[in-house]
Amino acid sequence: MTFARGFAAEVRKGLLDLAAGWREVLIQMVTFPLFYLLIVLFMGGGQLRADLLAPVLLGMVALTFIHEQVNRVFWSYLGDIQSGVLEQTYLTPLPSASLILGRQVAAAVSALPTALAVLATGATAIAVQGGRMPVDAQVIVPLAAIVLGTCGLALILCGLALVFRRIEIITQLSVAVYAIAGGTLVPLAAMPDAVAFLSRLVVPIAPGIEAMRDILLGGHALVSLPTGWGLGWLLAQPLLITAAGVVLFNRFERLARRRGTLGRP
């Protein structure tokens, strides 16, 4: 019951923060779709080319989600560390796992409006060009893989924030890496083999983006994905990243408690 109450309280707090920052959300729901259209214009030489709209859209939706989800969890956690609020939670019976899990769920929900705005913009642009956004229920699997893997990454970053100072830059650098080398804008098959290998190995959204493109644009079945490392890796990679996130977060948490740095400025 203590875990459930703590989890529910963190989810509620995250959603209240979302409601309180509705102006910021509205701005993001405009700027991210515009960014998507500008990318397509740039890649298409000044034209919204029909052959680019859908592939770039799938990558941009995933990139928007991971940017919003990771940043919301990380900055809320870092804010509690720097204000001393996080240290107080360790003086209560509240399990720390309920704290971080509740924030993960709230951040995932909070990331949806911006990601859906990008998706709606892309679908509209495709319709204007005379096309139709493909739909396939199989895409739920890569979407779930992206959400789970992103949560694992956020756990790792929050754990690092417990121990290391000036860690904020890592979130911005990580988003740049996803955008450039994560297969979000350019398929991994068109990248150098070493880059594609590392992206499929450690980038939470890379296998999911490849799978979505195979399913929605290539018409392939989930069990016979032609690109990437197949269905097995699509399912295993987010689980491994999440497991690594849990292990690393627990280790960093114990180290921070031993050092007494949970409430450091």
Which is more confidently placed, 83 or 59? 59
pLDDT band at 265 (very low <50, low <70, confident <90, very high): low
pLDDT in tens, 200-243: 999 999 999 999 999 999 889 999 899 889 999 999 999 999 99
CA distance linking residue 136 with residue 129, whole number of Å:
21
Q: What is the DSSP string of 212-249?
A: HIIIIIT---GGG--STTHHHHHHHHHHHHHHHHHHHH
Question: 70 Cβ partners below 8 Å, 6+ apart?
Answer: 107, 150, 153, 154, 157, 171, 174, 175
Q: Are 156 and 248 in contact (CB under 8 A)?
A: yes
Structure tokens at 134: 């493909």
Percent of the chain with pLDDT over 90: 42
Structure tokens at 263: 């409430």
Q: Quick check: pTM over 0.85? A: yes
Q: How far is CA 221 from CA 212, 225, 240, 249, 261, in A?
A: 10, 6, 24, 36, 50
CA distance linking residue 46 with residue 37, whole number of Å:
10
Residue 37 neighbours by CB distance under 10 Å: 17
Residue 230 neighbours by CB distance under 10 Å: 17
pLDDT in tens, 95-127: 676 678 888 889 999 999 999 999 999 999 999
Residue 110 neighbours by CB distance under 10 Å: 22
Residue 138 has pLDDT above 70, yes or no: yes
